[in-house]
Structure 1
């Protein structure tokens, strides 16, 4: 297996290269003006290790996989084209009204609870760029009013005159019958051929998502159109860079569904949060292969802290109507919570509470934390870590970024003056606030799923995960932490093990048990025909990308609910076809078991009716994965090697500086046990063992932190 996986984050570009049985991890600063430069830098570090030329390396690998936060950042910063919308007459206010309470989506909990004062997000598409067209379909896709083509031509001209750079067509019930949306696209190409206007993209809502829900479908298509140009030009530049360096295969993009596809088979919307999702995928593989149950993932990078859950033997949790920034969309996305807390998070004085506030603003990679000595003036979490003695100024990120501690002290001056405290005390406060915020995020996520923090292992990764994990876990009430193999580039490692995958779904209303007629579902032909059509779409996607039909695997999932409940659960059926009553009953039993486990057995109520709301087919090709060993703490322990040196470090709860031993890569040998406080710095990341914690080295360079 020879492949390259890249995770382009807000601060660092992580690169993970599989070279047969050798795995290489490298990092470089993200070059936002040209992502290819950061990628080339990380790849050149790999080439130096393998003693290869860049072209020779790229010619030899079977795939290059990209995960990126580019779309996420563009949405947050509102950097995108002017988008116009065509919608069915009478529904012009669907988008600005959202869903009544929709303006509460994406707000912090304390603000969402007080929505009377909540501020609506600035619209991506203002009312002035929304036009209606005369047509109407009913809920079954039957034409009630033919498309008025003259009206369409007039409205298209109006939108073009307003200067739109992308157009979304989102007609009512178009997922049941897309004919009118497709005809509008034909009319647009007739009226405005590419020779006249260049390439104004037109996004059809039924092609972005296959489920009903007019507002969420519209918002999904709008975000996809808003990100289309940004993603297209950035990814095209990356692909061109690969071509110039001798790589001839299609570039692959990681999807937030936990799979990946070629650039020409990827919607921009599917790339949002793709980097952290790749890390959660790797955590799922680790759970299965490493025999570790119940994991809460914490990916602490330079810009954000991303949280995910792995339960029941590698099961990932999905959101089927996730919130992206301030908008609810409708696509299957691996469940993820993102906090604005990372190594580059900026600390500021909070005058109201006379303390410091950390994040959500980040110094990013340019200029970066003050200690990077690249022009950053604001204090960050990384600056606090350097002042507290945790970081080696000359060997940070394998020595690629020399740190200037004098700049960190200067950046903290304003906070120290406002609070009248020394720099070390201010740095301890910054670390404590950052750890508390991340711990609170973990606890909210676990409590929301009905789980106890003490029953979970905290999987800490990302460039800063092993550095802050003890402080986070202690505040969250978690007793065991695992820093996985390749922890500093773990999300890129996850990208190296993804399958090519597509998800197709359809809204339905199928009564698997109708309480009024007291009958089981029996229209097997209609059900099987629908499943076959979804499989055909997935098959076509993968055949187009060069795979053989016999290599494609399918999974059938049903979103199910009780007649008196709003909560839905998604179950996977072993048989992808229904032919007999006992198969319908088996699906109901699967639902009962899953529903009872999630919400409590006392509210399992199939007698109230069992309904299927969505049929979903996952089509994939297994491309192999990075294998993890048994990562449980080894039984046999050995004494640590001799420290390479000592540093004066400061810890919360310890009044004076502590002489702390420093260990190198030899402390990663299997079974090494170290009592905190201690620092282990093999080069690519820093493991901080805080007082009261024990460090145990496991297989493959994984590390356990166990509270004494």
Structure 2
């Protein structure tokens, strides 16, 4: 088996990348997504990419997949009917939730509180109680529980979540309830909080467990269907950027709510590292939305929470921020304000932008780029022919609504506003986290990212702007070049004065063994695994924690406390010197090796890119028409310097180089865009 297959399903396109593990050669396909059944678009893409490589499905060893099935179930409210078992007295845990309302002052007036994923009528109380020290305060009443579970069966629940008070200390009652549920509710999947999230805070543990049950039947059905159709070993990308087997993903689907965006960040790190950069902002602009993240030292920032729509769960994920700004984002001019707005509504894959010629009539960002002359006549390797007249007719609606003098001015306004929207997202992961974007490179990918990348570089001051090879399918490349990962965590609340260095090392050692065992079961030898450790710390008396990474080989409580102080001061600009440090939770993660894929380098071609020149075209930039050279990226060589205004075309994306800037071709194949004064 010499090929690895990466598959990423987006809201508009499905990207498939086939990698020859021996030569490093890659073959790509981009096909419209099929929201009614994602597997249809995936199988179409697999057939296309295998045909282009001249091989068959039998030569593929593994299929590595970033999927939005769990995400879509949450966003669309189409998950399963979930029953919930809580400790007696805590039946309304989901209804009480947390006292947080999104929005500004008095936001609660207009905020419709979302319905809990498990209805109150499907929530039952188990007569039991575990103490905070793990002792049994009230034994489990099994007869009462069986009667209540039969009531849930009659109500037609499709999944069961079990979340008891203090179950993070000991799982004995939850384990017994799971055994009873298997007898009373045969065939109904059971999610147990002590396995899904063995950490304190009953609401977060409960909502995460319920969310796991809410998406579990759909994810299980989808992955089983995919595995059967493909007939290969299937792995799924986790929200934290690691891989999990289909079986593991089925048991813990809440860990893959941000599976899609995580693949892009992994791919961006791979591309930037090859170009010699380890501190970067990632910018993934697709047809429906834009995802941004920050990477420092080659390691993406991992958050302890995952947010999808109105739902926030405690599950590790790459710290990705999403805005409704993509190639399909619809521009509109409200009659009341006559102020141009772009997004978050999207034309999606069907009907898509007006330029796609599939019946869409609303003006979109893609239509604006067509009007400005930035896009070629075809997209996705000939999959989509662009209708320039339809795009122009759509953007005229914005021109008329605002009373502008030309359709090009309206198109430029659409592009400027969507760029500002994405700039705001980049500020969220940089400036608002205490980082100066000028200290980072900007990696742009996705089908639409390279078209807007140069403008985002100007707004952020992040240079160089890196356009990786095959930017439109980089998420699929991230899926295909990522290693297996598993994590084990435990709440262990102790003040530092109550701990010793050896005790903490032992705690992390136990957690590491759990994570190692999971990967060993997947065939990853212990010697090939990499271990990382994190601790959630706070000052005694605080109500929140800060996650700090640590090196177990050189561990001491004093060093851990100093690392916490440094992070606390960076975030909040002060320390609580008189308060003792307190450990809350410990976490160990085991990661398997990335697959060895040879990466070919481009031969040197000197500075002159003339052999790659295809034609010239007229574009509108800076309020005026300009002649731009159009280059074939497949013919560019290392060292070539493409000076703007210029357009670089390839199968899966188009790159715009603005006047006053130049793109240098790195031997790894990436384009490095800088202002001419710095190039």
- Cα distance in 2, alignment partners of residues 445 and 362 from structure 1: 24
Q: Which residue of the partner structure matches residue 434 of structure 2?
A: 450
Q: What is the match of residue 196 of structure 1? A: none
1:691 to 656, 659, 669: 659
Question: Does 1:545 pair with 2:522?
Answer: yes
1:494/1:379 CA distance change after superposition, 3 Å: same
The 5-angstrom pairing of residues 494-573 of structure 1 reads: 494-512=478-496, 514=497, 521-522=499-500, 524-525=502-503, 527-563=504-540, 568-573=545-550
Q: Distance in 2 between matches of 1:643 and 1:490?
A: 25
One of 223, 241, 256 as aligned partner of 2:229: 241
Question: Residue 269 of structure 1: CA displacement?
Answer: 1.0
CA offset at residue 253 of structure 1? 0.6
CA distance in 2, matches of 1:356, 1:471: 19
Q: Deviations over 1:421-472 (max 9, x none)?
A: 4533332222111111001111232111112222222111111111111222
* Aligned ranges 1:210-609 → 2 under 5 Å: 210-243=198-231, 247=232, 250-266=233-249, 267-311=252-296, 313-393=297-377, 395-412=378-395, 414-421=397-404, 422-512=406-496, 514=497, 521-522=499-500, 524-525=502-503, 527-563=504-540, 568-575=545-552, 583-596=556-569, 599-600=572-573, 603-604=574-575, 608-609=579-580
Kindly provide the CA deviation profile for residues 378-428 of structure 1, in whole angstroms up to 9, marking residues without a partner as x: 3221122112211112x3111121122233234345434433445333322
- Mark the CA change 1:176 to 1:576 in structure 2 (over 3 Å): closer, same or farther: farther
Any conservation in 1 of the 2:534–2:588 contact (CA below 8 Å)? yes
Shift of 1:252: 0.5
Partner of 2:167: 174
Q: Hey, what's the Cα distance between the residues in 2 that align with 1:132 and 1:201?
A: 19
The count of aligned residue pairs is 669
Aligned-residue offset at 1:490? 1.3
- Segments of structure 2 that go 5 or more residues without pairing to the other structure are none
User: In structure 1, what is the Cα distance between the partners aligned to 2:120 and 2:332?
Assistant: 37
**Is 1:611 paired with 2:582?**
yes
Determine if contact 1:498/1:625 at 8 Å carries over to the other structure: no
Partner residue, 2:626: 658
Cα offset, 1:191, TM superposition:
2.2
Q: Deviations over 1:485-519 (max 9, x none)?
A: 2322112111122111101101111222x3xxxxx
Could you report, residue by residue, the CA deviation over 1:359-388 in whole angstroms, capped at 9, with x for unpaired residues? 222222222222222233332211221122
2:347/2:353 contact within 8 Å kept? yes
Task: Specify the alignment match of 1:83 in structure 2.
Answer: 82
Gaps of 5+ in 1: 105-109, 194-198, 515-519
Q: 1:702 to 1:547 in 2, by over 3 A?
A: closer
Distance 2:216 2:350 in 1: 25
Taking the aligned partners of 1:73 and 1:119, their CA distance within structure 2 comes to: 20
**Deviation, structure 1 residue 626:** 5.0
Is the aligned partner of 1:123 residue 2:109? Answer: no
Q: Cα 1:208–1:671, aligned 2, differ >3 Å: closer, same or farther?
A: same
Return the alpha-carbon distance in structure 1 between the equivalents of residues 612 and 279 of structure 2: 35
Q: In structure 2, what is the Cα distance between the partners aligned to 1:488 and 1:87?
A: 46
Closer, same or farther: CA 159–374 of 1 in aligned 2, 3 Å: same
User: SS where residue 646 of structure 1 aligns?
Assistant: strand
Residue 697 of structure 1 deviates from its aligned partner by: 1.8
| Partner of residue 150 from structure 2, selected from 157, 174, 179 | 157
C-alpha contact (below 8 Å) 1:555/1:576 kept by paired residues: no
Once structures 1 and 2 are overlaid, which stretch shifts more, 460-469 or 341-350?
341-350
Q: Quote how far apart the aligned CAs of 1:576 are.
A: 5.8
Query: Quick check: 1:299–1:461 contact (8 Å CA) kept in 2?
Result: yes
Q: 1:11 to 1:508 in 2, by over 3 A?
A: same
Tell me the TM-score normalised to structure 2 length.
0.92
SS at match of 1:657: strand
Does residue 1:190 correspond to 2:167, yes or no? no
Change (3 A) 1:73 1:423: farther
- CA deviations 1:16-72 (Å, max 9, x no partner) are 2220221223211112233232222222332233222x23333xx3x2100112221
Partner in structure 2 of residue 107 of structure 1: none
* Matched residue, 1:16: 17
The 1:178/1:485 distance shift into structure 2, 3 A limit, reads: same
Do 1:668 and 1:703's aligned partners in 2 also have CA atoms closer than 8 Å? no
Instruction: Give the root-mean-square deviation of aligned CA atoms.
Output: 2.6
Query: Are residues 405 and 289 of structure 1, via their aligned partners in 2, closer, same or farther at CA, if it must alter by over 3 Å?
Result: closer
- Partner of residue 42 from structure 2, selected from 30, 39, 55: 39
> 2: CA distance between counterparts of 1:433 and 1:411?
17
Distance 2:332 2:598 in 1: 43
Q: Residue 608 of structure 2 aligns with which residue?
A: 638
1:67-82 to 2 correspondences below 5 Å: 67-82=66-81
SS, match of residue 84 in structure 2: strand
